[in-house]
C-alpha cells in the first residue's frame, strides 16, 4: 500500500471523505470512474459480503456472476489484506443493528 501513498492519493481520499450523501457518491464516482469500473467494485463488495456471510463459492458465482478468480481474490483480501472490507462491512452491520 505504501507504493500508492502520495499527496495526490491523499487528496483523492480526503475528497471522498467530504461526500455526504449516497447521491453525492453517485455524482462523484460516475465522473471519476467508468461504468464498468463501478460495476466491478460493486460486484467485489457484494462478493465480500457473501463470503463473510458464509456463502459457498458456487452460490456466490450464481448470485453475482463473479468468476472463481474474482471470488478467490476477494477472499484473499478478506483473509490477508488490510481489513478494508471488514472495516466497512462491520460499520454497515453496526448501522443496520441500531
Average pLDDT, the chain: 95
Closest among 56, 83, 91 to 71, alpha carbons compared = 56
pTM given for the model: 0.89
Set out the domains of the chain in order of their start, with CATH numbers: 1-32 (no CATH), 34-97 (1.10.1270.10)
Q: State how far the Cα of 71 lies from the Cα of 26, in Å rounded to an integer.
A: 25
Q: State how far the Cα of 41 lies from the Cα of 34, in Å rounded to an integer.
A: 11
Looking at residue 1, its pLDDT comes to: 61
Confidence of residue 2 (pLDDT cuts 50, 70, 90): confident
What would the mean pLDDT of 75-95 be, rounded to a whole number? 93
Amino acid at each position: 500500500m505504501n507504493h500508492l501513498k502520495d499527496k495526490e492519493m491523499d487528496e483523492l481520499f480526503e475528497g471522498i471523505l467530504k461526500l455526504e450523501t449516497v447521491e453525492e457518491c453517485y455524482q462523484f464516482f460516475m465522473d471519476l470512474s467508468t461504468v464498468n469500473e463501478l460495476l466491478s467494485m460493486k460486484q467485489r463488495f457484494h462478493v465480500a459480503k457473501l463470503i463473510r456471510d458464509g456463502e459457498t463459492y458456487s452460490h456466490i458465482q450464481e448470485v453475482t456472476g463473479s468468476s472463481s478468480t474474482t471470488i478467490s481474490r476477494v477472499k484473499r483480501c478478506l483473509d490477508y489484506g488490510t481489513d478494508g472490507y471488514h472495516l466497512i462491512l462491520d460499520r454497515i452491520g453496526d448501522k443496520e443493528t441500531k
